[in-house]
A and B are shown apart, each in its own frame.
Chain A
Amino acid sequence: MTEYLIRRAVQSVLVLFLVSVISFALMHAAPGGPLMVMLPKGGSQQAILAQEKNAGLLDPMPIQYLHWLGQLLHGNLGYTYKNHVPVGQILWPTVGNTLILMGVAWVLSLLIAIPWGIYNSTRTYGISDNISTVLAYLGFAMPAFWFGILLQEFLSLDLNWFPLSDMYSMNKQGNIGDLIWHLILPVCVLVLVFLASYLKYSRASMLEVLHMDYVRTARAKGAPEKHVIYRHALRNALIPIITVLGLDLPNLVSGAALTENVFNWPGMGRLFVEMAFAREYAVLMAITMLGAVFVVIGNLLADILYAIVDPRVQLGKKGGTAA
């Protein structure tokens, strides 16, 4: 198991390295090039030094890349073009906000999807199962941001039940109750999006497992049905669910980013779009890298969980498929 995890960790580092290469290449292809991204315009000593160093961009690409990577690893994400603010300064506060929104929605949808999916797998094509199928189809086919707009129109503007947008009301910064109040609509949107795939997968993998021979063996032993489902079947059904959770992470981040824009939530996704219009490449690079780091770490966690749940991983049988 350790060997498997080490291999996965090495792979993750490699993937992140390649992501950084792609980011750098894109940045280099951008009009203006990386110099503009990396340096404050004004005249700090350090900046001028760096500017001289990079003068004319004559250094070969790999050297430039290594320099950029070095800065990145030292936590220097660069400076914004407009106000020469360090990128970190405007980026880090948004990260927390995004995590709040995404985390709440993610946990909530897992808490709903897994038990519900299990229930549906034991009562297929019943009322509850049909409702969840409809929900899943809607979640897959509906543009999340449109659902958000509809909620805003009908629940905020017409009925005035929930705030239209933002994270806090005026003068209520940091008020937990107010935060929850503002969270409800965006979380609803995200939950529907996440729920669609989670419901589908938890039901499907549970159904698959319930038809396995070992489930019949458990029944033949005289195990009560609850025991059969929650002990014998669930543990096996979790294995593919964990994989899907890992694979679904990028969609999670994308979905959250979109929802932030609908509800003007001060998170990474909104910042990203804002900065895209302002052409603040340094911020865009930083967020892209951060997104990748998040996904890669998430996948690594999924792998660890996978190895805990499935004893067969110890032999490395499952190690072949990359996350």
Chain B
Amino acid sequence: MSQTPVSTDVVETAQLDPTKMDFSAEGSAAPPTSLTKIAVRKFVSNPFAIFGAIILAIFVVMCAFAPLFTHFKPAAIDMMNASVPPGTDGHLLGTDEIGRDVFARLLYGGRVSLIVGFCVAFCAVVLGTLIGAVAGYFGGWVDMVLMRLVDVMNSIPALFLNILVLSLFGSGFWLMITILSLTSWMGVARLVRGTFLQLREMQYVQAARAIGVSNWSIITKHLIRNATAPIIVNATLQIGNAILTESALSYLGLGVQPPQTSWGLMLNNAQEFMLTNPMEAVYPGLCILLVVLSINFIGDSLRDAIDPRTKVKISRRRLKKWRNRFSKSGI
């Protein structure tokens, strides 16, 4: 969509926006606050962001230091204590049908899910940024070729490609990270390319070129910095996506292989024993849901924080209330 040019009217209504007025008021008294600081303040004051950050932190800490929270081994089979209910003999969430401690499996499985999530997001963002940067900066046929590659990758349903590669080359942890990264860089690439296409015609980039700054340092110094904010938002959301895809693949039995475990693999197991041990299916799914939800909260809050347009969130009911109290106008 084309950007509407700033009109006087927009400025006028913008002045009515309370948050913006705060800024201008501060601007006149104190030195102007930097955009980053404003974004940070906005982010921190968002309850969803805080909620997401806390939940995610709890999960990361518990999974990273799993041995501190449980003395059970995730793969230790104990047929004597199979399918015991929560609380028995220190089994916080009970055991599964072959006596493995569910809580321990959740913590160690979470390790795999989280590592896959973060690694894939990181690789996908690096790869996407690189490809998008090259396409956007050089334009022309380079752009043309790379964008067709994006089209191609986007037209193969990712799950199929993932399963295909995993079945061709055998399942494995690192192969999974690789193939997940290779199938999720396209969004970032498009984003970076778009930003670059806009920016490369800008005067300061032209000027840098004119004084002989190398392509590489123009890309890294001038352009990527400008695209950082949206890339970070995208990276955050990628973590959630990767965790979901990993869980799906492991659920299908093509991802993580026993004795290693992950939340998805636990669900695969749980479906078989739905009748005898229904709660076993609930825990891992809940973990995935909570982690991905908190990551999405963080991502969305980041996006809102970076977006300079402050949205006025006000419900119709509240509007009505105010209107009834103060307004003299008819409805």
Contact = CB atoms under 8 A, between A and B. Distances in A.
Find out whether A and B make contact in their complex, taking CB atoms under 8 A apart as touching.
Answer: yes
Contact of A149 (B151, B285, B315): B285
Contact of A140 (B147, B158, B270, B292): B292
Main secondary structure of the interface of A (DSSP, over half): helix
A142 interface: yes
Nearest to B194: A321
Interface in A110-146: 123-126, 129, 137-138, 140-146
Given A26-B164, A322-B150, A146 B159 contact: no
Secondary structure class of chain B's binding surface, majority of residues: helix
A125 B248 contact: no
A208 to B, nearest CB: 7
Contacts of B248: 143-145, 258
Given A15-B155, A250-B158, A296-B155, A284 B267 contact: no
Contacts of B281: 146, 149-150, 153
A141 B240 contact: yes
B230 to A, nearest CB: 16
Contacts of A126: 315-317
Interface string A6-22: 00000100111011001
A241 interface: no
A151 to B, nearest CB: 11
Given A29-B168, A145-B267, A322-B147, A124 B160 contact: no
A287 interface: yes
Interface stretch (B28-36, B61-69, B249-257): B249-257
Contact of A19 (B147, B156, B159, B244): B156
Contacts of B151: 11, 15, 322-323
9 contacts: A31-B168, A124-B313, A126-B316, A258-B159, A261-B252, A276-B163, A276-B254, A284-B164, A291-B160
Interface of B: 1, 4, 147-152, 154-161, 163-169, 240, 244, 247-248, 251-254, 264, 267, 270-271, 274-275, 278, 281-282, 284-285, 288-289, 292-293, 296-297, 313-318
Q: Which 10 residue pairs across A and B have the least CB separation, nearest first? A: A146-B285, A254-B159, A276-B167, A125-B315, A141-B293, A141-B292, A253-B157, A250-B157, A30-B168, A295-B155
Interface of A: 11, 14-16, 18-19, 22, 26-27, 29-31, 123-126, 129, 137-138, 140-147, 149-150, 152-153, 157-158, 208, 212-213, 240, 247, 250-251, 253-254, 257-258, 261-262, 272-273, 276-277, 279, 281, 284, 287-288, 291-292, 295-296, 299, 322-323
